[in-house]
Amino acid sequence: MRDPNCIFCKIVDGKIPAEKLYEDSHALAFLDLEPRAPGHTLIVPKYHAETLETLPEEDAGPLFSAVKKVAKMLMRGLEADGATIGINQGAAAGQVVGHLHVHVLPRYHSDGGGAIQSVVNNKPKESLGEIKSKILKIT
Ligand code: AMP
Ligand code: ZN
């Protein structure tokens, strides 16, 4: 399933160009147009889903397998010391393109970047137990 108005669906269909690094029947990886690190790559499912929630179950495993392969390619090819791997899910989390994509950012000891948790510092007022109850709807 593709959305004809979606920029990443257009890349999947070869209608707009991208620097593709990896492709299989379920996923495609290409370099981010505005890289925040050398080799900053996006891995997308070929199925148009805005978020993980709407991604069909059968596409989830293959997407993660592609992330694993691409992260290894980037680490080796660019001699990276590590990688930050993440999804901006929803506008509140910074998602701009409405087609699920996993960012992989090769990391180096000296790159000055932080850990993925440093994107937010919204400390909870409730205890961990209260939060767990809310999530599990225990009263
Ligand atoms: P976000 O939705 O905030 O997770 O990020 C969307 C990402 O897509 C940004 O890092 C953009 O630089 C990248 N991007 C947008 N359009 C293209 C494109 N045509 N080719 C490659 N990367 C793109
Ligand atoms: Zn799409």
Radius of gyration of the chain (CA): 17
pLDDT, position 109: 98
- Which-ligand-closest: CA of 15? 1
103 alpha carbon – ligand 2 mean position (Å): 16
Pocket lining: 6 vs ligand 1, CB cutoff 6 Å: no
User: 32 CB less than 6 Å from ligand 1?
Assistant: yes
87-93 long-range CB contacts below 8 Å, 24 or more apart? 87/52, 89/51, 89/52, 90/51
Residues present in the chain in total: 139
Quickly tell me which residue has 């999947």 as its tokens: 12
**How far, in Å, is the centroid of ligand 2 from the Cα of 7?**
6
Is the full-model pTM beyond 0.95?
Answer: yes
Give the residue from 92, 78, 90 showing the smallest Cα distance to 35: 78
Active site members: 101
Distance 96 CA to ligand 2 centre (A): 12
pLDDT truncated to tens, each residue of the chain (139 aa)?
999 999 999 999 999 999 999 999 999 999 999 999 999 999 999 999 999 999 999 999 999 999 999 999 999 999 999 999 999 999 999 999 999 999 999 999 999 999 999 999 999 999 999 999 999 987 6
